[in-house]
Amino acid sequence: MNHTLKDIAYARSGDKGRHANIGLIAHTDAGYAFLQQHITAERVHAYFEALPVTDVVRYELPNLGALNFVLHNVLGKGGSQSLASDAQGKALGQALLMMPLEITETELAPARAEVTA
Amino acid sequence: MTDTSLKNTGRSDTIRIANVQAFWGDYSQAAADLLRQEPDIDFLTLDYLAEVSMSILAKQQRRQPDRGYAADFLDVVRSIAPFWNQGSRVKVIANAGGLAPRQCALACQVILREAGCPGRKIGVVTGDDVLCVLQAEPHSELSRNLDTGEQLGDRAQQLITASAYVGAAAIVEALQADCDLIITGRVADPSMVVAPCQYAFGWADDDYDRLAGATIAGHLIECGTHVTGGISTQWMDLEDVCQIGYPIVEVDAGGGCVVTKPKETGGAVNVRTVKEQLLYELGNPDSYLSPDCTVSFLSLSVAQIGPDRVAVRGARGSSPPATLKVSATFPAGFQSSGSLVIFGERAAEKGRRAGAAVLNRLQSQGLAPDESRIECLGGGSTVPLPHLQRDDLTEVVLRVSVADAQRAPVAQFARDWTSLVCSGPQGTTGYAAGRPRVSETFAYWPCLVAADRVSMEIEVLS
């Protein structure tokens, strides 16, 4: 079974001038522990290597079960001058959620979204 | 206060603040809809200004000296007037003034008079324009570009706008002067929510934890339907996405808030929509800078307390920086984008070849643009990560964009583009929009200004 980050987390991205940020939020505490251990700044930087990212800073928000990634210079000259369709980095969150994930079934079960009515 | 109820509210413990405009171009009926759905609202806030909005306004002002504000706001004022005529106590705070808050206020005055609603006081907040300060000190350390570290230097004379993100203080003063409609220029988005809280609860300027709570409340609703389900990861699971409700925050005297939305609207307010919006456009979560205070998100708690009701508490605040952020702009040249549909076998490959052909033709005319980009939309080129690309497609939208400091290469691109309709690959279609537009672009220069160099003024029109 092929898994992606979408199975254990949700996200939102947006611009900060030339930079963009991606908030990545775990569905559960176990999911947050997994994100904190495996989704490092280096890994996110490598994942987005095809874009003009110069460096990635990761912030931890354990109280929200979330990580915040700031992708420096990913938007080139910034929203107002970028020629890209996604001039403001709105699609980066979706792209991160499509990251392939190596995760065991034992790790996955407690990290999935709780089923709500 | 002698009354048991808070200033301007029917309640003694909370105030209810809604956002009904997230950006210039948002749904113009949102204010009237919300007042119909939720008559018990104390304050409406409306945000019209993005980073480069000021340069668009500057262009308009050059053509028409009595403009320079978000004129769409006048329709919103017209739609609110009947509610005031029927006794609504709602007070309205909008940054629609742009570069010309006073001109905007005068136009609002005419609208209210025409609507038989003449008794309302209009507050005008000015002082955010710091163009003169930047031009007087182009070599100041503060005016260096916050992103690149470059010095402003000679660019200072090319600047067409420079606006400081000012805080809540001037808006509080306008509320204390009993203004019903407050029009500002550039103001930090959350400060439009901090101001009514500070006014209603009488918080001191150094009551940082409470100010931080209100700043969080402001951050949560500043993008309108972002917090009620718009753009959320769970959007496909939401009910009734054609009428997602605009957000309301119920702020208490301790600075905590409950995020909610009008009954019988679409979308959702849940822990997921709220957490996503908390993280939106965030840098360091332990040090979110605003002109009113510095906020830490690391002590926040988020809890569902009822259907479409989420409590957000525990913000910690500390003193704001001694500087204000400035958004300055200067002309950067021209750009244009053309799009065509390419259908059939090898669609993506055909699209790439056609895009390259247009750029090669520009080069052969000696008009190669400074920058260009070819995207075959449909194949994953919005975020061109290798594992997300697909080449086996029946159709793509070919989008080619160019930019140059001079108009000529960009204008030639726009003229050449439509020739692909006859000279491009078989299956080229979707050209009804005609020739692409050439638009002026503006560079964004984020920098700082000493807070004590910015002096705000309030004028009350009645």
Closest by CA to B44, choosing from B91, B103, B112, B96, is: B91
Answer yes or no: is A42 within a domain: yes
Answer yes or no: is B413 within a domain: yes
Residues of B in contact with A84 (CB under 8 A): 373, 375, 382, 401
Other beta carbons within 10 angstroms of residue B222's beta carbon come to: 25
Q: Which pLDDT score is estimated for B60?
A: 87
Q: Which pLDDT score is estimated for B462?
A: 80
Question: Which ranges constitute the DSSP H helices of B179-291?
Answer: 191-201, 208-221, 271-278
Interface test with B, best of A49, A71, A81 (most B CBs within 10 A): A81
| B191, pLDDT greater than 60 | yes
Query: Measured between CB atoms, which of A64, A68, A98 is closest to B300?
Result: A64
Tell me if B266 sits within 8 A of B40, measured CB to CB: no
Residues of A in contact with B277 (CB under 8 A): 12
CA B41 to chain centre: 22
Distance from A54 to chain B by nearest Cα, in Å?
12
Answer yes or no: is A116 within a domain: no
Please check whether residue B238 touches A, CB under 8 A.
no
- B304 and B342 together in one domain: no
Q: Which residue has the tokens 């009926």?
A: B29
Helix (H, G, I), strand (E, B) or coil at A40: coil
Q: What's the rounded Cα separation, in Å, for the pair B128 and B184?
A: 9
| B2, pLDDT greater than 60 | no
What is the pLDDT averaged over residues B200-209?
Answer: 97
Answer yes or no: is B118 within a domain: yes
Q: Which of B300, B321, B342 is the last residue of a domain?
A: B321
Q: Which residue has the tokens 């001039």?
A: A87
Contacts of A46 (CB under 8 A, 6+ apart): none
What tens digit of pLDDT does each residue of B390-409 get?
999 999 999 999 999 999 99
Please check whether residue B29 touches A, CB under 8 A.
no
Distance from B286 to chain A by nearest Cα, in Å?
9
pLDDT band at B4 (very low <50, low <70, confident <90, very high): low
Across B224-235, b (16+ Cβ under 10 Å) vs e yields: bbbbbbbbbbee
Instruction: Report in angstroms the alpha-carbon separations of B314 from B161, B212, B344, B350.
Output: 37, 9, 57, 56
- B293 and B389 together in one domain: no
What value of ipTM does the predicted structure carry? 0.97
Q: Number of A:B CB contacts under 8 A?
A: 131
Residues of B in contact with A100 (CB under 8 A): 387
Q: What's the rounded Cα separation, in Å, for the pair B129 and B150?
A: 22
Q: Which domain holds residue A76?
A: 3-109
- B370 and B440 together in one domain: yes
Q: Which pLDDT score is estimated for B56?
A: 85
Please check whether residue B225 touches A, CB under 8 A.
no
Residue A110 token pair: 């407690």
Q: What's the rounded Cα separation, in Å, for the pair B462 and B447?
A: 36
What is the pLDDT averaged over residues A49-57?
Answer: 97
Q: What's the rounded Cα separation, in Å, for the pair B223 and B21?
A: 8
Residues of B in contact with A25 (CB under 8 A): 272, 275-276, 279
- B317 and B335 together in one domain: no
- B304 and B424 together in one domain: no
What are B430-439's contacts with CB under 8 Å, separation 24+?
A: B430/B339, B430/B340, B430/B341, B430/B397, B431/B340, B433/B339, B436/B336, B436/B337, B436/B338, B436/B339, B437/B336, B438/B334, B438/B335, B438/B336, B438/B407, B438/B410, B438/B411, B438/B414, B439/B334, B439/B335, B439/B336
Please check whether residue B442 touches A, CB under 8 A.
yes
What tens digit of pLDDT does each residue of B11-49 get?
779 999 999 999 998 999 999 999 999 999 999 999 999
| B3, pLDDT greater than 60 | no
| A41, pLDDT greater than 90 | yes
- B257 and B282 together in one domain: yes
Tell me if B245 sits within 8 A of B289, measured CB to CB: no
- B379 and B231 together in one domain: no
- B416 and B434 together in one domain: yes
What tens digit of pLDDT does each residue of A60-100 get?
999 999 999 999 999 988 777 889 999 999 999 999 999 99
| A58, pLDDT greater than 50 | yes
Answer yes or no: is A114 within a domain: no
* Average pLDDT for chain B: 95
Answer yes or no: is B3 within a domain: no
Residue of B nearest to A21 (CA): B281
State pTM to two decimals: 0.96
The answer to whether A95 contacts B383, with C-beta atoms less than 8 Å apart, is yes
Q: Which residue has the tokens 């309301």?
A: B248
Q: What's the rounded Cα separation, in Å, for the pair B245 and B45?
A: 15
| C-alpha distance across the termini of chain A, in Å | 26
- B313 and B292 together in one domain: yes
Residue B348 token pair: 């993506």
Other beta carbons within 10 angstroms of residue B366's beta carbon come to: 9
Tell me if B245 sits within 8 A of B18, measured CB to CB: no
The answer to whether A51 contacts B275, with C-beta atoms less than 8 Å apart, is no
Q: Which residues on adjacent β-strands are paired with residue A99?
A: none
Query: Measured between CB atoms, which of A12, A47, A61 is closest to B231?
Result: A12
Other beta carbons within 10 angstroms of residue B141's beta carbon come to: 9
Answer yes or no: is B459 within a domain: no
Q: Which domain holds residue B42?
A: 14-128+165-321
What tens digit of pLDDT does each residue of A2-21 get?
999 999 999 999 998 899 99
Distance from B24 to chain A by nearest Cα, in Å?
15
The answer to whether B371 contacts A92, with C-beta atoms less than 8 Å apart, is no
What tens digit of pLDDT does each residue of B314-360 get?
999 999 999 999 999 999 999 999 999 999 999 999 999 999 999 99
How buried is B1 (Cβ within 10 angstroms: 0-12 exposed, 13-18 middle, 19+ buried)?
Answer: exposed
Q: What's the rounded Cα separation, in Å, for the pair B376 and B381?
A: 6
What tens digit of pLDDT does each residue of B283-322 get?
999 999 999 999 999 999 999 999 999 999 999 999 999 9
Tell me if A41 sits within 8 A of A53, measured CB to CB: no
- B335 and B416 together in one domain: yes
Answer yes or no: is A117 within a domain: no
Residue type, A21: N
Q: How many helices (H) and strands (E) does chain B have?
A: 12, 19
β-strand pairing of B257-260 with B309-313: antiparallel
- Over its C-alpha atoms, chain A yields an Rg (Å, rounded) of 15
Residue B11 token pair: 């309640």
Tell me if B290 sits within 8 A of B215, measured CB to CB: yes
What is the pLDDT averaged over residues B186-202?
Answer: 97
- B278 and B378 together in one domain: no
Interface test with A, best of B56, B273, B279 (most A CBs within 10 A): B279
Answer yes or no: is B142 within a domain: no
Q: Which residue has the tokens 């959702």?
A: B268
Residues of B in contact with A43 (CB under 8 A): none
The answer to whether A66 contacts B383, with C-beta atoms less than 8 Å apart, is no
User: CA B32, B61, B190 angle in degrees (round to 5)?
Assistant: 45
Which one has a higher pLDDT value, A35 or B9?
A35
Residue B346, domain CATH:
3.30.70.120
Query: Measured between CB atoms, which of B298, B337, B384 is closest to A63?
Result: B298
Number of domains in chain A: 1
- Percent of chain B clearing pLDDT 70 (strictly above): 99
- B169 and B249 together in one domain: yes
The answer to whether B384 contacts A66, with C-beta atoms less than 8 Å apart, is no
The answer to whether A59 contacts B276, with C-beta atoms less than 8 Å apart, is no
A-side interface with B, Cβ within 8 Å?
6, 10-12, 14-19, 21, 23, 25, 47-48, 50-51, 59, 61-66, 68, 70, 77-81, 83-86, 90-95, 97-98, 100
Q: Which pLDDT score is estimated for B55?
A: 82
The answer to whether B280 contacts A12, with C-beta atoms less than 8 Å apart, is yes
Answer yes or no: is B160 within a domain: no
Query: Measured between CB atoms, which of A61, A91, A100 is closest to B383?
Result: A91
Tell me if A111 sits within 8 A of A48, measured CB to CB: no
Number of domains in chain B: 2
Please check whether residue B298 touches A, CB under 8 A.
yes
Query: Measured between CB atoms, which of B281, B298, B337 is closest to A16?
Result: B281
Tell me if B323 sits within 8 A of B452, measured CB to CB: no
Residue B347 token pair: 């669609």
Please check whether residue B219 touches A, CB under 8 A.
no
Answer yes or no: is A70 within a domain: yes
| B1, pLDDT greater than 60 | no
- CB contacts under 8 A, B 45-84 vs A, are 51-52
Residue B185 φ/ψ region, left for φ over 0, alpha for ψ in the -120 to 50 degree band, beta for the rest: beta
Please check whether residue B405 touches A, CB under 8 A.
no
